[in-house]
Structure 1
Amino acid sequence: DGSTVLASQMESASVFEIDAETFTVRRQLPTGGSWSKVIALSPDGATLYVSNWSSNDVSEIDLATGEVRRVLPTVATPRGLYPAADGQRLFVAGFENGELARIELTDGTSETLLQTGGAMRHLVGDAATGALYANDMATNEVYVVDLATEAVRKLADTNDKPNTTDLTPDGKVLYVSNRGANNPESFYIPGPEWGSVLAIHTQSGAVLDGIVGGNQTTALDVSPDGQYLAFSDFLDDRIQVFEIPLSDELIAGGGGRAQAHLAELAK
């Protein structure tokens, strides 16, 4: 209902429940894992799943009581999570080996659906179309899973180091932030190219448009009404907000700046 914010903190391996109006912390929920990272709510909103980066597992927390029901073993360095609409399956992105796994929530068993050898990072799903999208930060690719059959196929190539993804409300366009090439000394300092955002057609995999960002374009979100795109330039301490076209306009737009923006990425 918009009254609550849930935020994970890696160092304390916990999730904070925050009042969205007053910004006061209502509860701090220990996860029982280590280096807790990504959080995701079950479809009914009663259960919180938390990926634990260092302990290689996922915590299942009862939000009514705040108690950990169980800790589910999974792939190495789990990050992105997606609880399926059927309430029976939890999909997990494994960063260490580029794995995409599915956990059966009935018994906790796990199966790896894809292993790229890269660095699987973020998951976003569309319950209406039955599609799940996963990006690999090392191979610079986006994959799509048919949630009915669990068949996986490559959807598209991205720019360097895809980071975060989000869908338009109609599910027709997938926006992907790309950090850009790392500085050879350290990824904590600006690299040799700018970050970027790609708009990808979810049916064909065609890149519909491209935006040049700042230093390490990372977090990304499409507004619920599909009118705005916000993304962060991590090393610039900046958030940029764009008004974006309707999906059908993008699809009919002949590729926008999909090709032109590539020449502007090098600094």
Structure 2
Amino acid sequence: MPQSSRPSKRARYQHDRRRAPRKMVLSKDQKQKFDELMERLQLNFDNRKLLIQAFTHSSYVNEHRIFSCQDNERLEFLGDAVLELSVSQFLFKQFNTMSEGDMTKLRASIVCEPSLALFAQELKFGEMVLLGKGEEMTGGRARPALLADVFEAFIGALYLDQGLDTVLEFLNHTIYPKINDGAFSHMMDFKSQLQEFIQRDNLGLIQYLIVQERGPAHNREFVSEVQLNGETLGVGTGRSKKEAEQHAAQQALMNVNEKEKLK
């Protein structure tokens, strides 16, 4: 009887096994990196698989023939929604004199790709991403779109593992201080907001004063003070007089908001 040309059951099994998706397996060095990240961020994931998934790019999944659901795209989807909610809540509580339109503009400048990529870069998330060789060779680790996606995926993973309170606490150390420090003030006209608030309640007259100029001519810094009826409401600094006044107005609005909360 002629020998069959069909492969044996054992050969077919081995072939199918090589083609079948596999589970994620990290090296000792990779595991150590995630341990160091958690120590640096002072976090502890109950489900480490979620943490690893947040940093797993689709190129890594495809190259290593891992289950496709183990990349970070689903977590990115969730994290985007959690991030918008968290930032919206912060702006709503922190700036109770800000209009809906201005809050929308400010939120958009905070959760946009360039900003999220910068947050991820500052946290050194790029070093943690699991990438395929092709993506690595083309500079994917530093690509803004990839970094922004990783940041959103991390927020999604943190939300699933620890809940919204932990997400808010994390943002309280990473993003919210930047908002308070005026990192996004270029998107907002705080002077107009302050003027509208003062006029609405007939509180009096506001005046901006440049109280200090410091630094060499090529790197000048101005200090502005905004006063209401002669009383200082806020102080701000900037590379130009206009920027310093905007920051002073932002500080004044924050001070006004705090007083409103105490009533």
Structure 2-normalised TM-score?
0.20
Q: Which has the higher strand share?
A: 1
Higher RCO by CA contacts (8 Å cutoff, separation 6 or greater):
2
Structure 1-normalised TM-score?
0.20
Q: Which has the higher helix share?
A: 2
Larger radius of gyration: 2
